């Protein structure tokens, strides 16, 4: 924050606000003798047209052409007559606690397991739409329908880079709303990728044009820096980028509110005056003596018609405004003079999705809704069949794709990687492990070679972890001596696998229940296996203190196969939080769903039992269908079947095909 370029002090500003009855307060950290803070800007309108030059947005036509993942928005669009009710409308969670009495952290906990819908929370707008089906009277995406949707506030200081921050915030919010995934994108990627320097201003529209062409990666791929470094992202950037299909210019205020209500936040440009740096709470209106400083971009995350203001996420850190947010009155300092910008559709990357799948199925970015399921299973005894489900077509049909390999002893473990979004699998081949990968550019499966212990005797857990860039592959598998064996591959020449050692004892089943969690600075490895006693045991590797494996608690009983486990979205209040662990395991011909509250207590609890004729759970994911859980089971007759959970509970899905 630079010294003020205005001779006025905070005391002078407070007096002027009161005398003009403007109704807002300066930030409480500012003292009366302090100068008015001056923050960096950088907003250049570029080709952004005047608001009155932009044609009306035909939302109904857009919605007919673009599949939607968020079932709450599906319901909202149906209520407004912008979308016909689909024959199969999969709902969100069936209940939410009263947000007025519960913190967001608790609202994301397992109090959500209540099954009685709460009026005004699920399937209803934040406030009743006015007559004629217009936008809601108020919307706030920071906590809508009891859920948080907006990523944490960032700080552009000291660079003139608001345009990059606003564009990045739009992509992050749209990813969360459209796919239910938190994602952290790098403002530095678009800023430096476009060749800008710290002192350069820019256009949010130009930034979104660049993201349309190149995508936008995560900070570990390329960080935001203020010292004008050379642009040198990690070599796997192509698989670490959220892609933007398109964006929309929105002119009239009614269209802008309708977009926020039924699609999500929008980017706005406005003039910054010398008093704006002191904003705290209340609705900002310019003081009479303030002078213009320059242009600025922010993200509009909501609005309120009762008082008449936009809710804006700024890029000046949490020390500005109300935790980094502010309220700007309609029409104030040019905020409604030019078009605002909304994102049409985004395609999350494998790095964003990697904690949310386990086993033989993943959600890829394929299909017009960017949410197809991809699954591998054994067939003809020892070959592998690639299946995929078209999640952009009503009915969600499954299709058989390629058959490959000839030595599979058990169902493969599948993951999506940052190598051009390739699919990769590892499976047990006799007493060794075998790696295959699908090249997205050719759509062909390629043999990655045999590796691992000579006495492998279980289903492997397989992920792409945090170490290295590209991230290392991590594998844990049971060996014939009843131990667990960790192997890893540095994902660069010479591409060799290394033995990470054995740990544990008395292990009956290993499985795909391996994740790289958000715990610690580096992110711990976590897994669950089944012991000879039939109990499950949780293990974790402390990656901040020597990569040592630690035995966690045992829980459950009479488990008959290996579990699948993810770190899900429940419990995550923002993109950096730790989600609850979700686990499904076969027991007595049925599926048990377990979860661990990682926001407090850390105890494993069984949530539900469902299904029939179940031999093993082969996959668990939390994908783009709201916050639903999706499970694949191997039945006792050798067939694969899909189950899924929404707000009303667990549902039996179709039988897909044979795994024999």
Looking at residue 135, its pLDDT comes to 92
Q: Within 13 A of 484's CA, how many CA atoms are on the CB side?
A: 33
Which carries the bigger pLDDT value, residue 381 or residue 110?
A: 381
Grouping H, G, I as helix, E, B as strand and the rest as coil, residue 564 is strand
Q: What is the mean pLDDT of residues 186-194?
A: 98
Q: What is the pLDDT of residue 133?
A: 66
Whether the model clears a pTM of 0.85, i.e. scores above it, the answer is: yes
- List, in order, residues 6 or more apart from 209 with CB less than 8 Å away: none
Average pLDDT, the chain: 91
pLDDT at 156: 98
**What structural domains does the chain harbor?**
10-347 (3.90.70.10), 350-658 (2.120.10.70)
Q: Are 362 and 348 in contact (CB under 8 A)?
A: no
Helical segments of 80-218, H only: 104-107, 162-179, 187-193, 204-214
SS3 490: coil
- Distance of alpha carbon 580 from alpha carbon 583, whole angstroms: 10
pLDDT at site 327: 98
pLDDT of residue 67: 80
> Looking at residue 185, what is its pLDDT?
98
Mean pLDDT of 360-366: 97
Tokens of 632: 């694949």
Q: Tell me, what's the pLDDT at 83? A: 86
d(CA 71, CA 90): 7
Query: 153: which 2 tokens?
Result: 């506030």
pLDDT of residue 53: 98
What pLDDT digit, counting tens, does each position of 247-290 carry?
Answer: 999 999 999 999 999 999 999 999 999 999 999 999 999 999 99
Residue 62: its H or E element: helix 59-65
SS3 18: helix
Tell me what pLDDT residue 112 has: 29
CA-to-CA distance for 257 and 262, rounded, in angstroms?
Answer: 9
Residue 564 near residue 94, CB atoms below 8 Å: no
Q: φ, ψ for residue 43 (rounded to 5)?
A: -75, 120
Residue range 302-311, pLDDT digits in tens: 999 999 999 9
Range 82-99 average pLDDT: 48
Instruction: Give one DSSP letter per residue of 261-300, joined into a string.
Output: HHT--EEEEEEEETTGGGEEEEEE---TT--EEEEEEEEE
Most confident of 63-67, 115-119, 347-351: 347-351
pLDDT at 117: 25
Tens of pLDDT, residue by residue over 39-58, are 999 999 999 999 999 999 99
Contacts of 505 (CB under 8 A, 6+ apart): 482, 483
CA angle, residues 621, 626, 632, in degrees to nearest 5: 25
Burial class of residue 406, CB neighbours in 10 A (0-12, 13-18, 19+): exposed
567-585 confidence digits (pLDDT tens): 999 999 999 999 999 999 9
Mind listing the pLDDT tens digit for each residue in 466-524?
998 899 999 999 999 999 999 999 998 999 999 999 999 999 999 999 999 999 889 99
Return the closest-CA partner of residue 187 out of 158, 209, 167, 159. Answer: 167
Provide the sign of the torsion angle of the four alpha carbons 169, 627, 415, 509, taken in this order.
positive
In this prediction, residue 86 carries a pLDDT of: 60
- Lowest-pLDDT range of 121-135, 277-291, 346-360, 486-500: 121-135
3-state helix, strand, coil in the chain (%, to 5): 15, 35, 50
């Amino acid at each position: 924050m630079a010294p003020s370029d205005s001779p006025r002090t905070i005391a002078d500003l407070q007096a002027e606000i009161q005398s003009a009855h403007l109704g807002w307060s300066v930030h409480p950290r500012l003292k009366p003798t302090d100068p008015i803070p001056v923050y960096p800007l950088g907003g250049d309108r570029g080709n952004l047209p005047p608001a009155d030059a932009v044609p009306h947005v035909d939302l109904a036509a857009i919605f007919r052409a673009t599949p939607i993942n968020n079932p709450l928005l599906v319901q909202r669009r149906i209520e407004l007559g912008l979308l016909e009710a689909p024959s199969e409308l999969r709902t969100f969670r069936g209940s939410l606690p009263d947000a007025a009495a519960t913190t967001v952290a608790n609202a994301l906990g397992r109090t959500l397991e209540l099954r009685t819908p709460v009026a005004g929370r699920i399937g209803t707008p934040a406030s009743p739409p006015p007559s004629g089906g217009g936008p809601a009277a108020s919307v706030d995406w920071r906590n809508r329908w009891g859920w948080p949707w907006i990523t944490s506030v960032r700080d552009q200081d000291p660079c003139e880079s608001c345009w990059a921050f606003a564009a990045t915030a739009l992509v992050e919010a749209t990813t969360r709303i459209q796919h239910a995934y938190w994602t952290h994108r790098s403002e530095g990627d678009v800023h430096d990728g476009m060749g800008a320097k710290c002192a350069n201003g820019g256009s949010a529209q130009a930034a979104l044009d660049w993201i349309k062409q190149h995508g936008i990666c995560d900070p570990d791929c390329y960080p935001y820096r203020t010292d004008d470094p050379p642009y040198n992202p990690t070599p796997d950037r192509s698989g670490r980028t959220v892609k933007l299909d398109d964006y929309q210019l929105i002119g009239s205020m009614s269209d802008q509110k309708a977009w926020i209500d039924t699609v999500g936040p929008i980017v706005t440009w406005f003039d910054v005056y010398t008093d704006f740096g002191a904003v705290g709470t209340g609705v900002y209106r310019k003081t009479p003596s303030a002078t213009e400083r320059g242009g600025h971009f922010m993200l509009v995350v909501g609005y309120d018609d009762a008082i008449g203001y936009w809710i804006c996420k700024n890029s000046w850190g949490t020390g500005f405004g109300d935790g980094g947010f502010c309220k700007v009155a309609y029409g104030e300092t040019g905020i409604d003079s030019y078009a605002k910008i909304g994102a049409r559709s985004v395609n999350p990357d494998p790095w964003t999705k990697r904690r949310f799948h386990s086993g033989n199925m993943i959600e890829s970015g394929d299909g017009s809704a960017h949410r197809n399921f991809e699954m591998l299973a054994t067939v003809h005894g020892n070959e592998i069949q690639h299946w995929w489900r078209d999640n952009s077509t009503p009915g969600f049909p499954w299709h058989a794709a390629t058959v490959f390999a000839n030595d599979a002893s058990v169902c493969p473990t599948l993951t999506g990687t940052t190598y051009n979004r390739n699919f990769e699998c590892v499976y047990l081949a006799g007493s060794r492990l075998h790696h295959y990968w699908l090249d997205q550019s050719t759509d062909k499966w390629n043999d990655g070679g045999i590796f691992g212990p000579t006495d492998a005797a279980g289903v492997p857990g397989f992920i792409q972890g945090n170490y290295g860039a590209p991230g290392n592959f991590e594998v844990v598998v049971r060996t014939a001596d009843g131990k667990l064996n960790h192997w890893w591959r540095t994902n660069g020449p010479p591409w060799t696998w290394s033995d990470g050692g054995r740990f544990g004892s008395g292990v009956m089943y290993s499985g795909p229940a391996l994740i790289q969690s958000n715990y610690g600075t580096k992110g711990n490895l976590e897994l669950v296996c089944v012991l000879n006693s039939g109990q499950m045991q949780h293990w974790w590797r402390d990656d901040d203190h020597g990569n040592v494996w630690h035995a966690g608690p045992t829980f459950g009983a009479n488990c008959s196969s290996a579990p699948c486990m993810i770190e899900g979205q429940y419990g995550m209040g923002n993109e950096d939080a730790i989600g609850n662990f979700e686990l499904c395991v076969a027991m007595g011909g049925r599926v048990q769903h377990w979860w661990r509250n990682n926001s407090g207590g850390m105890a494993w609890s069984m949530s539900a039992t469902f299904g029939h004729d179940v031999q093993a759970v082969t996959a668990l994911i939390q994908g783009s269908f709201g916050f639903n859980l999706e499970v694949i089971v191997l039945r006792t007759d050798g067939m694969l079947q899909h189950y899924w959970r929404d707000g009303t509970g667990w549902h039996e899905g179709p039988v897909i095909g044979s795994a024999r």
